[in-house]
């Protein structure tokens, strides 16, 4: 009974905000923060109290082959916690940040719709339903990218919207072909029927889905929209886009469809390995040369997505563990880095690394947290990024692919180099900056400090004891498609 709330709470609050918030934004802030907090509490409760257990909810009481089911298993639980955490912190960050742009309720209503779409994608067990929720999330994302109202933002949003519409058309063809072959839209039902059909159907649909969802995840041949959209959006939205939006309709759906529905076919796993390695290397090479701070971070998103794909493509328990763990970690430290970029933009009015300098004196919180995040993303030991990258590299060696392990290590070194550049020019430069244009609000500081603590704390997810609750059930869900089918269909 708890599952529909993940969709109902943000959807309801989006429309309530539109109805009751007058000209000022105080009601909108209150409502959206209350909604996001309750979502975080609910998702943590579901993960902690019902670990390993699969919850099914039939919408309107219709059984799976006929109706739409909502499914909550270990992977869903982890993703819901991630989305709720990042969205709550982004909302807290927005309270101070968005007032520099305007004081309208529209931002918060769109933000809640974005959460609705993402929660829906995560929780639904029906392929077409997933498509609809994905469109809800993307619509609000297009509008939010253009929120600042400058020419570049409209340009980025238009590019993003064209790419989004194209990928949605490709995905819809895939869904149509799959429906005509299997006569069902429930993912578990498709997984049950598909092995009896001609394998060519799976390869056709897999190709369409790889292109469609790969475009949403910005894997390297489909990445062109990402640096523009992620660097032009307001900072909390960049954090949402890079932190969770490329993962939910992108990586999460790829995992669910290719692992659970198609049963990890070898051809696609090899494709993931190739795409992942290419993304790691090209993404990081493109990032090193950037001087715009947010653009540099955006290119790193492409490279880090490559690590997740690499782990998925290995399809060994350790590889998938690394992929899921890196997915969580990347959301935490990349959101923090985008908050830092937003804070610097508010304080100095620039994102150009050449025009920054020594900020340790005037922006102590920002420069300290950015150091934590930079160390995390480069993979320096006590922080979370080190553990997930280490697991991925060990998994690649164990799977007999030392070349991929080498690529991942080289990518990590180049990441370190580009973040040393960011720290050297951006935060600890030679030129002493004395005056700031605007002070950084308490909301921004809180969000940054909480995420910096999360960077350290999420290292513990992989410790024995906690790992059995959080990550191991996810790996077993992804590796054993028959259990997913049985949980949803078997009654």
Partner 1 sequence: MILYILCFTLFLVGVYGLLTKRDLIKLILSLAIMGYAVNLFLVLFGYRSGAAYPIVTEGAAPGPMVDPLPQALVLTSIVIELGTTALLVALAIRLVEKYKTFDIHKIRRLFG
The residues of the shown chain that bind partner 1, judged by CB under 8 A, are 128, 132, 135, 139, 142-143, 146, 150-152, 154-158, 161-162, 164-166, 168-169, 172-173, 176-177, 179-180, 185, 227-228, 231-232, 289-290, 292, 295
Output 70 or 298, the one with its CB closest to partner 1.
Answer: 298
Measured from the CB of residue 5, what is the shortest distance to partner 1 in angstroms? 23
Measured from the CB of residue 161, what is the shortest distance to partner 1 in angstroms? 5
Distance between CA 423 and CA 293 in Å, rounded?
11
Measured from the CB of residue 204, what is the shortest distance to partner 1 in angstroms? 13
String of b and e for 337-357 (b: at least 16 CB within 10 Å)? bbbbbbbbbbbbeebebeebb
Q: Smallest Cα–Cα separation from 55: which of 42, 73, 31, 39?
A: 73
Compute φ and ψ for 241, nearest 5 degrees: -65, -50
Output 56 or 172, the one with its CB closest to partner 1.
Answer: 172
Output 118 or 372, the one with its CB closest to partner 1.
Answer: 118
Cα angle vertex 254, ends 252, 255, to 5°?
Answer: 65
The encoded tokens of residue 11 equal 């959807």
Output 181 or 259, the one with its CB closest to partner 1.
Answer: 181
Q: What single DSSP character describes residue 316?
A: S
Output 154 or 203, the one with its CB closest to partner 1.
Answer: 154
Output 178 or 331, the one with its CB closest to partner 1.
Answer: 178
Compute φ and ψ for 452, nearest 5 degrees: -65, -40
What Å distances lie between residue 425 and 23, 286, 338, 421, CA to CA? 41, 18, 17, 6
Measured from the CB of residue 298, what is the shortest distance to partner 1 in angstroms? 10
Count Cβ atoms below 10 Å from residue 400 Cβ, excluding itself.
9
Output 113 or 273, the one with its CB closest to partner 1.
Answer: 113
Cα angle vertex 288, ends 286, 294, to 5°?
Answer: 85
Measured from the CB of residue 452, what is the shortest distance to partner 1 in angstroms? 29
Residues making up the chain, counted from first to last: 491
What Å distances lie between residue 177 and 69, 78, 124, 205, 258, CA to CA? 21, 31, 20, 7, 16
Measured from the CB of residue 51, what is the shortest distance to partner 1 in angstroms? 35
* 438-441: long-range pairs with CB below 8 Å, 24+: 438/100, 438/346, 438/347, 439/347, 440/96, 440/343, 440/346, 440/347, 440/363, 440/365, 440/366, 441/95, 441/96, 441/97, 441/99
Q: Smallest Cα–Cα separation from 239: which of 330, 139, 133?
A: 330
Measured from the CB of residue 153, what is the shortest distance to partner 1 in angstroms? 9
Output 231 or 388, the one with its CB closest to partner 1.
Answer: 231
Output 185 or 408, the one with its CB closest to partner 1.
Answer: 185
Measured from the CB of residue 130, what is the shortest distance to partner 1 in angstroms? 12
The string of DSSP codes covering 466-491 is THHHHTHHHHHHHH-HHHHHHHHH--
Output 73 or 135, the one with its CB closest to partner 1.
Answer: 135
Distance between CA 72 and CA 411 in Å, rounded?
35
Measured from the CB of residue 7, what is the shortest distance to partner 1 in angstroms? 16
Torsion of CA 254, 258, 261, 263, to 10 degrees: -160
The encoded tokens of residue 355 equal 């025009």
Measured from the CB of residue 175, what is the shortest distance to partner 1 in angstroms? 8
Measured from the CB of residue 435, what is the shortest distance to partner 1 in angstroms? 28
Distance between CA 487 and CA 326 in Å, rounded?
27
Output 74 or 297, the one with its CB closest to partner 1.
Answer: 297
């Amino acid at each position: 009974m708890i599952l529909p709330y993940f969709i109902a709470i943000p959807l309801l609050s989006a429309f309530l905000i539109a109805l009751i918030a007058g000209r000022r934004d105080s009601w909108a802030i209150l409502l959206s923060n209350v909604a996001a907090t309750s979502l975080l509490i609910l998702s943590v409760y579901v993960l902690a109290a019902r670990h390993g257990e699969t919850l099914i909810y039939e919408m309107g009481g219709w059984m799976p082959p006929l109706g739409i089911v909502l499914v909550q298993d270990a992977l869903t639980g982890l993703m819901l916690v991630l989305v709720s955490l990042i969205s709550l912190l982004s909302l807290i960050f927005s309270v101070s940040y968005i007032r520099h742009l305007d004081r309208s309720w529209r931002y918060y209503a769109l933000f809640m719709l974005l959460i609705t779409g993402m929660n829906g994608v995560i929780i639904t067990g029906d392929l077409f339903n997933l498509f609809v929720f994905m469109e809800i999330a993307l619509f609000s994302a297009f509008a939010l990218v253009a929120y600042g109202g400058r020419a570049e933002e409209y340009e980025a949003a238009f590019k993003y919207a064209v790419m989004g519409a194209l990928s949605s058309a490709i995905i819809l063809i895939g869904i149509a072909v799959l429906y005509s072959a299997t006569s069902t839209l429930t993912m578990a039902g498709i997984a049950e029927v598909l092995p009896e059909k001609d394998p060519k159907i799976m390869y056709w649909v897999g190709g369409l889905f790889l292109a469609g969802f790969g475009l949403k995840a910005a894997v390297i041949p489909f990445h062109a929209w990402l640096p523009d959209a992620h660097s032009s959006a307001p900072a909390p939205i960049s954090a949402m886009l890079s932190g969770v939006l490329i993962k939910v309709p992108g990586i999460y759906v790829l995992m669910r469809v290719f692992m659970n529905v198609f049963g990890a076919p070898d051809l696609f796993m090899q494709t993931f390995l190739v795409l992942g390695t290419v993304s790691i290397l090209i993404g990081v090479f493109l990032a090193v040369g950037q001087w715009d701070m947010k653009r540099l971070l955006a290119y790193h998103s492409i490279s880090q997505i490559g690590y997740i794909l690499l782990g998925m493509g290995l399809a060994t328990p350790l590889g998938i563990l690394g992929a899921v763990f890196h997915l969580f970690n990347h959301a935490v430290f990349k959101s923090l880095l985008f908050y830092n970029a937003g804070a610097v933009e508010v304080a100095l009015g620039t994102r150009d690394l050449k025009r920054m300098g020594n900020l340790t004196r005037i922006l102590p919180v920002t420069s300290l947290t950015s150091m934590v995040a930079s160390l995390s993303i480069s993979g320096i030991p006590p922080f979370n990024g080190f553990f997930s990258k280490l697991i991925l590299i060990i998994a690649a060696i164990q799977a007999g692919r030392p070349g991929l392990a080498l690529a991942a290590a080289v990518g990590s070194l180049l990441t370190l180099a580009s973040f040393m550049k960011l720290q050297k020019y951006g935060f600890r430069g030679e030129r002493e900056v004395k005056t700031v244009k605007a002070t950084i609000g308490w909301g921004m500081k809180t969000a940054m400090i909480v995420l910096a603590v999360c960077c350290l704390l999420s290292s513990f997810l992989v410790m024995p004891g906690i790992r059995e609750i959080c990550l191991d059930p996810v790996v077993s869900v992804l590796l054993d498609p028959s259990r997913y089918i049985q949980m949803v269909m078997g009654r």
